[in-house]
Amino acid sequence: MNERFGGYQNEIYLHGLGGAYPPCSTDATKLEASAQQVLGAGPFSYVAGAAGSGATARANRAAFDRWRLVPRMLTGATERDLSTTLFGTRLPAPLLVAPVGVQSIVHAEAESASARAAASVGLPYILSTASSTSIEDVAAANGDGQRWFQLYWPSDSDVCASILARAKSAGFSTLVVTLDTWTLAWRPSDLDQGYLPFLHGEGMAIPFSDPVFRGMLEKTPEEDMPAAVLRWIGMVTGTDRTWDRLPFLREHWDGPIVLKGIQHVDDARRAVEAGMDGIVVSNHGGRQVDGAIAALDALPGIVAAVGDRIEVLFDSGVRTGADFAKALALGAKAVLLGRPWVYGLAHAGEAGVRHVLRSLLAELDLTMALSGHHVLADLGPDSLAHT
Ligand SMILES: Cc1cc2nc3c(=O)[nH]c(=O)nc-3n(C[C@H](O)[C@H](O)[C@H](O)COP(=O)(O)O)c2cc1C
């Protein structure tokens, strides 16, 4: 059965009359501004902020604006199928919930709320290593949902192996290894407030619940939180890895492995040579390298080089159904949604995340319909004009 995501429109028209629904705007480009009203200054800046002058984050959005959909008529697009298959598993739509750390700074129910929301709409949930909720608790909240695990690669091999084993046994199917954040970028919006949530023990649930990590500490995190925080931060920041270290991950993970943060064609080729299963073309939403290429501008060249040999996923700057369609038309197999659902979490917890996900699915579905596309394979370079 193909789901009719566009039907959310009617649901809102019918139930929204009472004024209680929807919980936040149906326009994801407006959610940053409204989230600022409900979040404290530190958490808001942490989510909305970017590296340096913000040039990369702006470039991500500007790149989407330069591409325009060219709608087709009389194609009979009444019935649509947005489903796709990734690593042998069917997805109802080409949308995944991007890994986002420290969700406790946004909402008390944090990752449990977003993992429940993802499962309720059937989309894969990618859990961050910087989670404020343990691997096992997120798995319980996610239930029968599809879940992937994102790794910030600890320099201690035993701790790394322990975390991977826990993720595997908690039902996380695919490993996403984030390469672009081996140390934190210069982020003036956080620096100007001296705000880093990790230093307050937020986003530490995975190491703090890890038996191998705990075994290395002189005092437990409950007895001496600052020492445990510093030990962990020293393990996950400050040390870059090299391509020859990837076999370690293969040894400890028997499912698909996806490298996140690829922006150069040669790195995409190296990912193929290293036997990886997928890549995410991403600049971390402009949070790491200021003045970097827009992720969307990097996408077509990478798809041309490796798209037939590896799954190419995409994120950074996606805010509308049209943005999804554009990234898919430029060759992404599926797209990760970042900040918009985090703003949904800030507004209304699980219901807010579900609303944002359903809104974008509906908008993509209706964009497909009204531009004359029945299935994702109909979207291609012919669907777009560059202006
Ligand atoms: C507050 C916040 C926290 C994030 N935490 C992580 C993380 O823990 N791991 C990771 O791989 N990416 C993380 N990201 C990056 C997202 O996965 C994604 O690449 C990015 O949000 C895409 O850009 P966009 O939000 O502009 O669409 C984070 C992004 C934000 C906004």
In the predicted model, what is the mean pLDDT of the chain? Answer: 97
The dihedral over CA atoms of 125, 247, 270, 163, expressed in degrees to the nearest 10, equals: 20
Pocket test for ligand 1, best of 39, 177, 259, 339 (most atoms within 8 A of CB): 339
Query: Could you give the C-alpha distances from 267 to 72, 260, 276, 280, in angstroms and in order?
Result: 36, 11, 12, 11
The per-residue pLDDT for range 102-112, each reduced to its tens digit, is 999 999 999 99
Q: What is the pLDDT of residue 14?
A: 87
Residue 202 pLDDT > 80, yes or no?
yes
The per-residue pLDDT for range 208-228, each reduced to its tens digit, is 999 999 999 999 999 999 999
Q: For residues 285 and 339, what is the distance between their CA atoms, to the nearest angstrom? A: 8
Q: For residues 335 and 123, what is the distance between their CA atoms, to the nearest angstrom? A: 11
Residue 3 pLDDT > 80, yes or no?
no
The per-residue pLDDT for range 52-69, each reduced to its tens digit, is 999 999 999 999 999 999
Q: What is the pLDDT of residue 46?
A: 98
Q: Which numbered atom of ligand 1 lies nearest the CA of 315?
A: 22
Q: Which numbered atom of ligand 1 lies nearest the CA of 176?
A: 11
Q: What is the pLDDT of residue 33?
A: 98
Q: Of 127, 207, 195, which Cα lies nearest the Cα of 163?
A: 207
The dihedral over CA atoms of 238, 241, 246, 249, expressed in degrees to the nearest 10, equals: -10
> In sequence order, what E strands does 238-373 have?
257-262, 278-281, 311-314, 334-337
Q: Is 386 a catalytic residue?
A: no
Within 10 angstroms of residue 194's Cβ, the number of other Cβ atoms is 8
Residues with CB under 6 A from ligand 1: 46-47, 60, 98-101, 128, 130, 150, 178, 260, 282, 284-285, 315-318, 338-339, 342
Rounded to the nearest 10 degrees, the angle between the axes of helix 55-66 and helix 321-329 is 80
Q: What is the pLDDT of residue 229?
A: 98
Q: What is the pLDDT of residue 19?
A: 66
Residue tagged active-site, from 107, 284, 347, 373: 284
Q: For residues 269 and 308, what is the distance between their CA atoms, to the nearest angstrom? A: 11
In CATH, which of 3.20.20.70, 3.90.380.10, 3.40.190.10, 3.30.530.20 is domain 5-386?
A: 3.20.20.70
Residue 96 pLDDT > 90, yes or no?
yes
Pocket test for ligand 1, best of 233, 282, 287 (most atoms within 8 A of CB): 287
Q: What is the pLDDT of residue 262?
A: 98
Residue 174 pLDDT > 60, yes or no?
yes
Identity of the amino acid at 1: M
> Is the CB of residue 161 less than 8 Å from the CB of residue 129?
no
Domain ranges of the chain: 5-386
Residue 2 pLDDT > 80, yes or no?
no
Residue 1 pLDDT > 60, yes or no?
no
